[in-house]
Amino acid sequence: MRTHIVIFTLTSLLAYGAMAGTWKVMENDKACILLDMDLNFTVGYATATGTKQSNFELPGNASVDDTGSSCGETEANITLAFFEETYKVTFTFEVLSKTYQLSKVNFNYIEDTTRFPDAKDTGKPKTKSGKLTLFTAHVGNSYRCNTPDMDTTITDLKMTFSNVKLQPFNVTKGNFSDESVCTADLAKSTPMPTPAVTTMMMTNMSMTNMSTEILTTVMDINTTTGAVTTKASPTTMATTTKPPTEGNWTVKDSKGKPCMNMAFKANFSYSYQDAKNKTKTETVMLPFTADPSMSTCGENSSTFALQFEHSNNTWMMEMVFDLLNTKDYTQVDGQYNAFQMTELLVNYTDPLSMNYEVNTTRTHFKTNVNMTYKCDADDNIEVEMMNVTFTDVKFQPFAKGQSYPGELQDCKLDDKSSNVVPIAVGCALAGLVVIVLIAYLIGRKRTKSVGYQTV
């Protein structure tokens, strides 16, 4: 028998605002789903003269609908009813391998006169639903994210979540388990190191010669500890060093040995609505100074995380690599023979200071576990509403104390690009042969004509 409980206390009011609430789904007198959050809806609707938007919040006194809520090992649903149960929203969570996520939302409502003035379909029931990817956490953990997170996946439905804490699986004794904290919250609580740089300038001038020497402090930043060491190296004003555009990062294990080596360029391209509701596109380059200190190396799974600043906002990119067995490479009993990226997550803030978290679980960058993955060509990965382009890639997320172990394993995109030059050369040679043949035939024809005139 399943029951449900809604908790709406003064404490939650003070902590989260007037509309916050806590919900539990009970099964056999035990809590199996825990949910605590603020949620704002922005719904587009039609009027006789055009379109409008309705904004309202999920009230804290919303009740858990027993018929639409269910617990399970791989799928869980919680349905909340509000506004005299004329509105219902269902959240579906799914387990994917080692993690779970919010994968679907179904929203049923009525365009009433209170929240939808001048609606063309006043009083008619409406439904908006769709698949999405939010709130990814390890199975067995709860998920927490206080930072506002907007989702616009479903047409004419914008949902802004904040102060989220949830656990749809493996609830023990009715309490939240250890937290998986979203990257936006981690970025705010973990400031990036800002080591000082000292520069000394010494100038020697004469009537016939002027030279300027600069003594520049060179920083050597340990990517694991953030420690900084400096050494002085003289340069000259006439020598200009172009800043590198390719990042090269090494993550070390607890013994100080390399466990992950990553070198690549990347840019992030996405669209957003400006203050005048016009669509604009922004492209952000990944700086080579991005901080990898939040990366973690594991025996069978490693996470490479980069944190950097853009327009006074902290961005975060996470790449999850897993070991696997595949028929594409030589198999060894009891051992993994390949690695690949299984998840790419980006947390970013647009020019209007709206925070988003997008991710994809499509696999990428697969190669032999004893090799280093290499790809010079542009490799574009679609991550929901953002495109991430990788270039000049060299990956080894399971380095085991070495720099870049094994041979460089080229990607298929490089094979395609490498065919361009031979094809172009072949076409040019073929064209040259045709031109020479035509010239020969024309010359021969003229020679015959001159011979006839002589006779």
**235, 254 contact by CB (below 8 A):** no
**323, 342 contact by CB (below 8 A):** no
**Mean of pLDDT values over 228-244:** 40
Q: Is the pLDDT of residue 70 over 50?
A: yes
Q: Is the pLDDT of residue 451 over 60?
A: no
Average pLDDT value over all residues in the chain: 80
Percent with pLDDT over 70 in the chain: 77
Distance CA 338, CA 330 (A): 9
pLDDT of res. 415: 58
Q: Is the pLDDT of residue 170 over 80?
A: yes
> Among 113-117, 229-233, 363-367, 415-419, which is the least confidently predicted range?
229-233
If one compares 114 and 1, the residue with the highest pLDDT of the two is 114
**14, 74 contact by CB (below 8 A):** no
Given the structure tokens 């990553």, which residue do they identify?
Answer: 262
Angle at 359 between CA 317 and CA 292, to 5 degrees: 15
Q: Is the pLDDT of residue 227 over 60?
A: no
Q: Is the pLDDT of residue 220 over 70?
A: no
**Mean of pLDDT values over 98-122:** 94
Could you say which DSSP state residue 72 is in?
A: -
- Identify the burial level of 104 via C-beta atoms within 10 angstroms of its C-beta, where 0-12 means exposed, 13-18 middle and 19 or more buried: middle
Q: Is the pLDDT of residue 53 over 50?
A: yes
- The residues, any chain, with a CB within 8 Å of residue 369's CB and separated by 6 or more, are 323, 329, 336, 337, 338, 339, 398
**Mean of pLDDT values over 139-164:** 91
pLDDT of res. 207: 37
pLDDT of res. 101: 92
pLDDT of res. 352: 84
* Neighbouring-strand partners of residue 455: none
For 301-346, write each residue's pLDDT tens digit.
999 999 999 988 889 999 999 999 988 888 777 788 999 999 999 9
> Among 28-37, 224-233, 430-439, which is the least confidently predicted range?
224-233
Rounded-to-10 torsion of CA 309, 312, 313, 315: -10
From the list 55, 56, 108, 101, the residue with the least C-alpha distance to 79 is: 108
pLDDT of res. 128: 96
For 259-313, write each residue's pLDDT tens digit.
999 999 999 999 988 888 888 999 999 999 999 988 989 889 999 999 999 988 8
Predicted TM-score (pTM) of this structure? 0.48
Percent with pLDDT over 90 in the chain: 48
Q: Is the pLDDT of residue 434 over 70?
A: yes
Residue 248 pLDDT class (50, 70, 90 cuts): very high
**78, 91 contact by CB (below 8 A):** yes
Q: Is the pLDDT of residue 236 over 50?
A: no
Determine what percent of the chain falls in helix, strand and coil, rounding each to the nearest 5: 15, 50, 35
pLDDT of res. 40: 95
pLDDT of res. 423: 67
pLDDT of res. 152: 85
